[in-house]
Amino acid sequence: MAVDAIDLAVPAGSVFGFLGPNGSGKTTTIRMLLGLIAPTSGEVELLGVPMPAGQARALPRVGAVVEGPAFYPYLSGEANLRRYDAADPTADPSTARARIGEALERVGLAAAARKRYRTYSLGMRQRLAIAAALLGPRDLLVLDEPTNGLDPQGTREVRALVREIAADGTTVFVSSHLLAEVEQMCTHVGVMRTGRLVAQGAIEDLLGAGAARVRLTTGDPEWAVRVLGTMGLTDIRAAGDEVTADAGTMAPEDIIARLVCQDVAVRSFAVITPSLEDVFVGLTGEGFDVEG
C-alpha cells in the first residue's frame, strides 16, 4: 500500500494507536519509520532524525516488535535474550546480565527466565519479544499488532504491560485493527485510510467530534419519525417501537419537549454517545474488527 504525506504527532508518554483496516498502509508506514524500507519520494523522520540515513542515531532509542517474535524454541527465554543482546553492536556486554534480568522482570517473566521458549504460552512469547525490544533504555516502543492471535489471557497480559511501559515514561506506538483493544489500551490514535492519515488526536477528542444520536421508544414510531423530521434531525431510523436519529446541535430536552407537544407518547428517551467504531467507520468508510 502506498502512503502519502503522513505527519504523526505522537505525544511523549502516550500509548498511541495507529489504526486502519487491513491494507490501509500501517505496516508500510512503520517499515519506513524504522528504516526497513526507503520512501520512493519525500522524507521520513523518526524522533526528529532523518531516516534511513540517521538509523545509527535514532534506532538505539527505539524498540520494535514487527510481524511477531522469532526465537529459538529449544533455548530458554533468558538465553534467547542473551543472543539478541549479543547481536546488537550498540549494547555493552559488561551490563548484559543486569539488563536482561531487568527486561525479564519488567515484562513479568523473571520466574520463567530459564524455561524453554517452546513451553511459553502465546502471551508469554509476546512479552518476551517486548523484553527483547527493551534491553536498553528506549524513548519509543513500536508494536505492530501486539495482541493479534492471542487468547483472552494473553491479550490482557500484553495490554497491562503496554500501560505499565507507558507509565514508566516510554512512548508506545501500537499498530492495530482491533478497535476493542485500542479503546482499552490507548490514550491517542491516528486513523489511516488508503494510505492517508485521515484523523489523529486524543481518543476523547475524536469521540466528542462525532454526532450524538437520540433513541426513543414509543407506541407510534411512524408519527415520531415525522415529528423528528420537522425538527431537522437526520438519519432517522425506526425499528419496531424504537426510533433513532442524529441530534445534530439540538438539545435533548428541546427534542423531548417538541415530541410531547406533538402528542408523541415517549416511553423512554436516551442520548447515545458515538462509539469508537462509529467514529472510525465514518472516517474510513470501512469496517473494523471490533472483537479481535
Helix residue ranges per DSSP H, 120-235: 122-133, 152-167, 179-185, 203-209, 221-230
Same domain, 198 and 220: no
Same domain, 97 and 196: yes
pLDDT of residue 289: 46
* CA pseudo-torsion sign 39, 89, 75, 154: negative
Q: How far apart are alpha carbons 65 and 189 in whole angstroms?
A: 19
**198, part of any domain:** yes
Who contacts 95 (Cβ-Cβ below 8 Å, separation ≥6)?
none
**165, part of any domain:** yes
pLDDT of residue 224: 94
pLDDT of residue 282: 67
> pTM for this structure?
0.76
- Whether residue 107 has pLDDT greater than 60: yes
- For residue range 159-170, list pLDDT tens digits in order: 888 999 999 999
pLDDT of residue 210: 60
- For residue range 175-215, list pLDDT tens digits in order: 887 777 888 889 999 988 888 888 888 888 877 666 678 99
Same domain, 53 and 130: yes
**Contact assessment for residue 216 and residue 259, using Cβ atoms and an 8 Å cutoff:** yes
pLDDT of residue 211: 63
Determine the structural domain holding residue 249 and report its residue range.
211-273
- The gap between the terminal CA atoms of the chain, to the nearest Å, is 23
**185, part of any domain:** yes
